[in-house]
């Protein structure tokens, strides 16, 4: 009945040893520093006091149906003790189509909230004080438009936009690698990202302008080492693009943030976070010459692993999520989302979302883990795994450099193929029983009892379509058209797009209309097929 053996460890940079000793640490040179929390290279955390000074932000990812439905969920989560909002958008919003587009049929509000216009954004945040709450938005290809909508709504409520805090994911490179919600060709998309960097640095200085994401690559099947390597390689690409555009590294780098997955292999995940911090600190100081210590810090949000959730015996997912969340906390995350146990079946119910939040609160208030700063430091196993992951990541960097950099590696499909190979190997191990998934290929039961799941009312799509069509009949057509013309002009001239996009949303241009205007100038990306 045991689960010993290689199991899922076969995906690690090396197989887990039965016993670690000081000799394992001696194999690595002194460049693999441990140091102190809050000091370069931040292996032990970005702050000297870590959670003794301030707990991580408990940020629950949510969005469903229309803006009113999502607003109700946000208020429920805030009442239950969550400290920050995290917005999930539906697929049409993510890829730049309005709810009444033929391409949106059947998808409106299904995997997140439908946002077409400034009126939807006002409904989404109705009654929520934007100056006092931190908001994260998981949005990429249309991130510039959604940030403009958020700022425009804040202006309408009288908030000081310079005090707004939060994050837009805005990581377009990982869309080409693993997720697929891209619109424009890679290099045009990169231009939009750096326009956001420049504009937000001047106008919304407390906003994190990008969340460089490894999460989706891990969901697609990457190993822990690949997740760190490809995420940080993307990060270097963004930094270089911004510097090539004339931006001072120490002006924008402190607002960079990262987003990682917390997977099942407990010790490996803790080591992964520590290695990522240390590698990034060295990159920013040595490669890019950043002088500000805040530019060296890798600050990150973590989400527990959706791909590990099972439809079979779904209550087991509560335990999986707790283990993953504890790894993120011991790894030093700055904010955390815990998945609902029913998410392999549907969007989480209110009950499942509540249990997920309570999981974080129990770790924070009952486990005792936050009472000690970096309690895992000095563990032979943790420090050895941290060193091994760093060595594997550096090896990937060398391979990427030989391919001509991350953009070239993505455009050739090499990164995608590496992840696909890892995903295949893992699935093969599950299929053969080499890797155990409890309740799926071992410890199964007949006839799982059904659990309640969330259903999105089909009428919400019709209601949203009617709203966006009604908006088009009420707006000032001349002002609306002039704003789209200005967006088109900025796209062609190379001028920063954000002022034009902000004007567009304030003139009631929709997400789909702005995205379509940019499509006219930039074209659309077609994926490279690797055979």
What are the tens digits of pLDDT across the range 124-133? 999 999 999 9
pLDDT band at 156 (very low <50, low <70, confident <90, very high): very high
Residue of 199, 124, 135, 194 whose CA lies nearest to 164: 135
Lowest model confidence (mean pLDDT) among 21-35, 382-396, 466-480, 517-531: 21-35
Asked if the model's pLDDT at residue 189 lies above 60, the reply is yes
Tell me the C-alpha distance between 218 and 501, whole Å.
33
Contacts of 197 (CB under 8 A, 6+ apart): 209, 210, 238, 242, 247, 252, 255
Asked if the model's pLDDT at residue 220 lies above 60, the reply is yes
Asked if the model's pLDDT at residue 293 lies above 90, the reply is yes
Tell me the C-alpha distance between 121 and 123, whole Å.
5
Asked if the model's pLDDT at residue 146 lies above 50, the reply is yes
Question: Residue 191 corresponds to which tokens in the numbers above?
Answer: 């231009």
Q: Are 323 and 357 in contact (CB under 8 A)?
A: no
- 3-state class (DSSP) for residue 359: helix
User: If you average pLDDT over every residue of the chain, what do you get?
Assistant: 93
Contacts of 402 (CB under 8 A, 6+ apart): none
Per-residue pLDDT, 28: 67
Q: pLDDT tens for residues 295-350?
A: 999 999 999 999 999 999 999 999 999 999 999 999 999 999 999 999 999 989 99
Per-residue pLDDT, 30: 62
Per-residue pLDDT, 191: 97
DSSP state of 285: I
Edge-to-edge strands of the sheet including 210-213? 207-208, 165-168, 134-138, 84-88, 57-62, 335-337, 300-304, 256-262, 210-213
Per-residue pLDDT, 18: 80
E strands, 232-353, in order: 256-262, 300-304, 335-337
Asked if the model's pLDDT at residue 13 lies above 90, the reply is no
Tell me the C-alpha distance between 247 and 478, whole Å.
35
Neighbours of 136 (CB within 10 A): 24
Helix (H), strand (E) at residue 88: strand 84-88
Q: pLDDT tens for residues 265-290?
A: 999 999 999 999 999 999 999 999 99
Whether the predicted model's global pTM rises above the 0.95 cut:
no
Asked if the model's pLDDT at residue 246 lies above 80, the reply is yes
Tell me the C-alpha distance between 56 and 51, whole Å.
7
Per-residue pLDDT, 313: 97
Tell me the C-alpha distance between 295 and 41, whole Å.
12
Asked if the model's pLDDT at residue 3 lies above 80, the reply is no
Can you give the C-alpha Rg of the chain in angstroms?
Answer: 23
- 3-state class (DSSP) for residue 473: helix
Per-residue pLDDT, 531: 52
Asked if the model's pLDDT at residue 411 lies above 80, the reply is yes
Residue with tokens 């009949």: 473
| Domains with residue ranges and CATH for the chain | 7-62+169-432 (3.20.20.240), 460-522 (no CATH)
Asked if the model's pLDDT at residue 529 lies above 90, the reply is no
Tell me the C-alpha distance between 489 and 496, whole Å.
10
- 3-state class (DSSP) for residue 60: strand
Per-residue pLDDT, 403: 98
Average pLDDT for residues 520-526, to the nearest whole number?
95
Per-residue pLDDT, 530: 55
- 3-state class (DSSP) for residue 356: helix
pLDDT band at 10 (very low <50, low <70, confident <90, very high): very low
Tell me the C-alpha distance between 412 and 482, whole Å.
39
Average pLDDT for residues 141-157, to the nearest whole number?
98
Neighbours of 445 (CB within 10 A): 9
DSSP 114-128: ---SHHHHHHHTTT-
Average pLDDT for residues 257-263, to the nearest whole number?
97
Question: Residue 276 corresponds to which tokens in the numbers above?
Answer: 């990522």
Per-residue pLDDT, 1: 42
Average pLDDT for residues 91-102, to the nearest whole number?
98
Q: Would the CA dihedral through 299, 146, 346, 351 be positive or negative?
A: positive
Tell me the C-alpha distance between 177 and 119, whole Å.
33
Per-residue pLDDT, 27: 74
Tell me the C-alpha distance between 396 and 417, whole Å.
14
Looking at 436-497, list the stretches that DSSP marks H as alpha helix, in order from N- to C-terminal side: 459-474, 477-493
Look at strands 84-88 and 134-138 and give their pairing: parallel
Question: Residue 76 corresponds to which tokens in the numbers above?
Answer: 């429920």
pLDDT band at 15 (very low <50, low <70, confident <90, very high): low
Query: Percent of the chain having pLDDT more than 70?
Result: 95
């Amino acid at each position: 009945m045991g689960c010993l053996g290689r199991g899922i460890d076969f995906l690690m940079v090396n197989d887990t040893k039965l016993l670690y000793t000081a000799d394992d640490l001696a194999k690595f040179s002194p460049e693999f520093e441990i140091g102190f929390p809050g000091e370069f290279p931040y292996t032990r955390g970005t702050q000297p006091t870590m959670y003794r000074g301030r707990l991580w932000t408990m940020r629950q990812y949510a969005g469903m149906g229309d803006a009113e439905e999502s607003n109700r969920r946000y208020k429920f989560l805030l009442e239950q003790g969550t400290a920050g909002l995290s917005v999930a958008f539906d697929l049409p919003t993510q890829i730049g189509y309005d709810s009444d587009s033929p391409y949106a049929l059947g998808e409106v509000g299904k995997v997140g909230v439908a946002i077409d216009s400034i009126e939807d954004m006002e409904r989404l945040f109705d009654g929520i004080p934007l100056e006092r709450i931190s908001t994260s938005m998981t949005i990429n290809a249309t991130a510039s438009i959604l940030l403009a909508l958020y700022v425009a709504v804040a202006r309408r409520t009288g908030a000081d936009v310079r005090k707004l805090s939060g994050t837009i994911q805005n990581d377009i490179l990982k869309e080409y690698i693993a997720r697929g919600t891209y619109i424009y060709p890679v290099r045009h998309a990169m231009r939009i990202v750096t326009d956001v960097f420049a504009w937000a640095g001047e106008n919304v200085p407390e906003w994190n302008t990008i969340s460089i994401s490894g999460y989706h690559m891990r969901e697609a099947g990457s190993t822990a080492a690949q997740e760190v390597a490809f995420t940080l390689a993307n990060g270097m690409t963004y930094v270089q693009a911004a510097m090539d555009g004339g931006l001072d590294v120490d002006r924008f780098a402190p607002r960079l943030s990262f987003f990682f997955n917390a997977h099942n292999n407990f010790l490996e995940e803790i080591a992964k976070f520590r290695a990522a911090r240390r590698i990034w600190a060295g990159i920013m100081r040595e490669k890019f010459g950043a002088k500000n210590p805040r530019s060296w810090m890798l600050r990150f949000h973590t989400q527990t692993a959706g791909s590990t959730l099972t439809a079979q015996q779904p209550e087991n997912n509560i335990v999986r999520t707790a283990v993953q969340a504890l790894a993120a906390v011991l790894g030093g995350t700055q904010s955390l989302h815990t998945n609902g146990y029913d998410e392999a079946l549907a969007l989480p119910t209110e009950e499942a979302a509540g249990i997920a939040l309570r999981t974080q609160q129990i770790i924070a208030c009952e486990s005792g883990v936050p009472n000690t700063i970096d309690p895992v430091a000095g563990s032979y196993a943790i420090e050895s795994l941290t060193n091994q992951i760093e060595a594997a990541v550096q090896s990937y960097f060398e391979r990427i450099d030989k391919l001509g950099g991350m953009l070239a590696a993505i455009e050739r499909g090499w990164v995608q193929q590496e992840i696909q190979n890892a995903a295949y190997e893992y699935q093969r191990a599950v299929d053969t029983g080499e890797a155990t998934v409890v309740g799926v290929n071992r410890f199964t039961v007949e006839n799982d009892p059904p659990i309640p799941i969330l259903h999105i009312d089909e009428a919400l799509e019709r209601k949203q379509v009617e709203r966006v069509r009604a908006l088009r009949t009420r707006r000032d057509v001349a002002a609306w058209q002039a704003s789209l013309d200005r967006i088109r002009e900025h796209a062609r001239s190379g001028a920063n797009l954000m002022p034009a996009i902000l004007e567009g949303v304030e003139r009631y241009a929709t997400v789909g209309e702005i995205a379509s205007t940019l499509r006219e100038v930039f074209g659309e990306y077609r994926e490279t097929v690797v055979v």
